[in-house]
Structure 1
Amino acid sequence: MTTEVRTVGPGELNRYADGIRDVYASAFAAPPWNEDPAQADVYAERLARDALRPGFTAAVATDGGTVAGFATAWITPEAFPADRSYGQVAEALGAGRTRAWLCGALEVNELAVAPEAHGAGLGAALLEAVTGPAPGGRCWLLTSARAEAALRLYERTGWRRVDAPVPGKAALVVLLGPRHPGRAGAGSGR
């Protein structure tokens, strides 16, 4: 069968909800995430709320009707949030870079590919599907420095790490997308 990657609107997400939940559970059970499978149910509930965010976009990869991967993104508010890890990101970047690089930019929230589908280019295709329409090429994401496979994917597809360690136990790093105008000031690209 052929795997298809397509962008889906918030109204279509419910059609893929069970598959997205299953991919989330299998993708984030492994290190460095080590999430309990019950967290996939929490994510499924959060996804329904996230779909209401301004600029929300999602992409799914399906193989014979089975979800093999997904990605979600939305526009980061002009008033940078303080919940979740946002406060730590703002602390690491400072107010000026946070406002210039992240506010109003497309933020990739989740990207997951089922372990059995790794190596087929789905991660790159899903990432392009949700970031292609980023306003002015401005897109960013946050991941763990311990997520080595994810970091290899991002860097291979042109994303650049910001040289500003995010405080906290999660060892998070900010990456700017391949067409982001702030890349020149982001650091080494390592």
Structure 2
Amino acid sequence: MRVRLIEGGSLPAYADRIGQVYADVFSSPPWNEDRSTGALYVERLAADAGRPGFTAALALEADTVGGFATAWTTPRTFPSGRSYGPVAEALGPDRTAAWLCGGLEVNELAVAPAARGTGLGAALLSAVTETAPDGRCWLLTYAHAEAALGFYRRAGWHPVPVAVPRRPGLVVLLGPDHPAAAGLAPR
């Protein structure tokens, strides 16, 4: 499979296949989402594609999507919805502004079960983060997603040692070249 960056306007051509990969990945443990969330994700992706700094990468072979990753620039005014408010509370306003705002947030990374262990996840992650300003990229995952957390650690990502209020097990990770990562405890 080959990893390609895809413009947001081109994503509808791949929507069904992206939705299938999403459903295959996130309906399995440890996520255990309903398979219908694949279609809901495709709807959300259409809106996300309009975000400033949006980037997407697809792993493609002929008509098959083997995985995808999406990211976008974190607004200067940090969002408060979803998990953002608790993350900002855990980090405090200074670290939130310095570490996350204006950086690149990796929103989703999914590799089809049949393509795992082939290096696609690392290639997709690299593709969407290679233009992160000053290496400032970050993402959220959960500690119970041990395989995902292990993957990010092996890829050089740094967990921030904070407890996120009202989100037990939520982990904030800074990218390998994030300037603040050097000050964190060893992985």
| TM-score, reference length from structure 2 | 0.97
1:162·1:189 contact (CA, 8 Å) conserved in 2?
A: no
For residue 97 of structure 1, report the CA deviation from its aligned partner.
Answer: 0.5
Partner secondary structure for residue 18 of structure 2: helix
Partner secondary structure for residue 174 of structure 1: strand
Partner secondary structure for residue 142 of structure 1: strand
Cα RMSD (Å): 1.0
Counterpart of 1:123 (choices 121, 130, 133) is: 121
Partners in 1 of 2:4 and 2:133 — Cα distance? 19
For residue 63 of structure 1, report the CA deviation from its aligned partner.
Answer: 2.5
Partner secondary structure for residue 108 of structure 2: strand
Partner secondary structure for residue 58 of structure 1: strand
Counterpart of 2:89 (choices 88, 91, 109) is: 91
Change (3 A) 1:181 1:164: same
Partners in 1 of 2:168 and 2:29 — Cα distance? 12
1:76·1:105 contact (CA, 8 Å) conserved in 2?
A: yes
Partners in 1 of 2:177 and 2:14 — Cα distance? 30
Measured against aligned partners, the alpha-carbon deviations of 1:73-123 in whole angstroms (never above 9, x if no partner) come to 000000000001000101111111101000000000000001111100110
Structural mapping, 1:37-186, within 5 Å = 37-185=35-183
Change (3 A) 1:38 1:119: same
What is the aligned-residue identity percentage?
Answer: 63
Partner secondary structure for residue 111 of structure 1: strand
Partner secondary structure for residue 112 of structure 1: strand
Amino acid at match of 1:145: A
Unmatched runs of 5 consecutive residues or more in structure 1: none
For residue 58 of structure 1, report the CA deviation from its aligned partner.
Answer: 0.1
Partners in 2 of 1:32 and 1:170 — Cα distance? 15
2:55·2:70 contact (CA, 8 Å) conserved in 1?
A: yes
Partners in 1 of 2:186 and 2:88 — Cα distance? 20
1:31 and 2:29 are equivalent in the alignment: yes
1:142·1:175 contact (CA, 8 Å) conserved in 2?
A: yes
Amino acid at match of 2:94: G
For residue 168 of structure 1, report the CA deviation from its aligned partner.
Answer: 2.7
Amino acid at match of 2:51: R
1:188 and 2:180 are equivalent in the alignment: no
Aligned length: 187
| TM-score, reference length from structure 1 | 0.95
2:83·2:167 contact (CA, 8 Å) conserved in 1?
A: no
